Amino acid sequence: IERSVLSDPATQQLLSGLHLVKVDVSENTMSHQELMRRLEAFGPPTMVFLDPQGREVSNTRLVGDVTRSGLADAVSRAEAGS
């Protein structure tokens, strides 16, 4: 995702108004497992869009292979829903 989608200048512009948080859960520690449980994420990669109150915006979650168009659609829905 980082090399193919997030590095794209158009994608960076699209995401410029959002606060991005990246969590590396590859070590699978207890705190990683708890975070994944709280976010109801089955594994990486998972992208979750939250509103200003910290609630997930409906129909924005991306799991697995993330494409530029899929990300653009999710961002559009997130901005409309927050």
How far is Cα 37 from Cα 16, in angstroms, rounded to an integer? 28
pLDDT at residue number 82 = 65
Contact 10, 54 (CB under 8 A): no
How far is Cα 8 from Cα 31, in angstroms, rounded to an integer? 31
List per-residue pLDDT tens for the chain, 82 residues long: 888 999 999 999 999 989 999 999 999 999 999 999 999 998 889 999 999 999 999 999 999 999 999 999 999 999 998 6
3-state secondary structure 11-71: HHHHHCCCCCCCCCCCCCCHHHHHHHHHHCCCCCCEECCECCCCCECCCCCEECCCCHHHH
